[in-house]
Amino acid sequence: MNIIILGPQGCGKGTQARLLAEKLGLYYHEMGAFLRDLAKKNKIVADYINNGILVPDDIFFQAMKEILQEKTSSGQGMILDGFPRTVRQYEMLQNLFDEIGNKINKVILLNISDKEVVRRLSARRTCVSCGAVYNLATSPKPVTAEKCDKCGGKLIQRDDDYPETIAKRLSEYKENTLPVIDLARKQGILLEIDGEKSIEDIQTELLSWIN
Ligand code: AMP
């Protein structure tokens, strides 16, 4: 089973994807984290991310391809979060899967309003030491806004979680990802869910649809 999870930034797709991966034994690929990791060694990638601009496909697709090939040959299903994000990436993924005898089974869309995107992202904090992610507006909330509950590390706001960059990322999402959603809808593999419901309700809805 291969699932793509889409939605505007802050819609909770990471939380839902992790829960699904755990329950269904899927490999979880978080594109943003994968690229932020790459950015540590590659300043060009870091500049794209910090400005809320999509990293060009040719910079990362080969590395991504190797992961997808390896998972396919091991027979493990996957849940892809943050990739594909453009029609071109969706087609690249479909072509690769065609080549290696795999396919996209389902596409999940978690919808939240623009206002909720801004509220959630402005309240997001990340631990500099262990990478744990918290949200001061929703759960999981840290005990204090300064320190990580897991390791005591300092909590910071990501460079791309400030209002101007949030607005840029939101319009990037509308321009590039909404057409991917239309495509999946036409293919009859799209499930749309209200991302403003509770984490538990969304997870129950997702599991019953998948099963
Ligand atoms: P995210 O954590 O999903 O909000 O992603 C953070 C940043 O990583 C984005 O603003 C882009 O710069 C980059 N990024 C994430 N996913 C992709 C993708 N599929 N293609 C290109 N760039 C991406």
| Domain positions in the chain | 2-114+164-210
What is the reported pLDDT for 159? 84
pTM of the entire structure? 0.88
As a whole number of angstroms, the distance between CA 193 and CA 55 comes to: 27
Closest alpha carbon to 119 in 133, 134, 138, 144: 138
Residues of the chain whose pLDDT is less than 70?
A: 139
Active centre residues (catalytic): 13, 85, 124, 158, 169
Regarding the domain with residue range 2-114+164-210, which homologous superfamily does it belong to in the CATH classification?
P-loop containing nucleotide triphosphate hydrolases (3.40.50.300)
Closest alpha carbon to 103 in 70, 82, 77: 77
Q: Which atom of ligand 1 is nearest to the CA of 31?
A: 16
What is the reported pLDDT for 138? 78
Task: Show the tokens assigned to 11.
Answer: 């819609």
Among protein residues, the one with the nearest Cα to ligand 1's atom 7 is 49
Among protein residues, the one with the nearest Cα to ligand 1's atom 1 is 32
What is the reported pLDDT for 46? 95
What is the reported pLDDT for 85? 96
| Ligand 1 neighbours by CB, cut-off 6 Å | 9, 31-32, 35, 48-49, 52-55, 82-83, 85, 89, 160, 169
Task: Show the tokens assigned to 204.
Answer: 């129950």
Cα 32 to ligand 1 centroid, rounded to whole Å: 5
What is the reported pLDDT for 171? 93
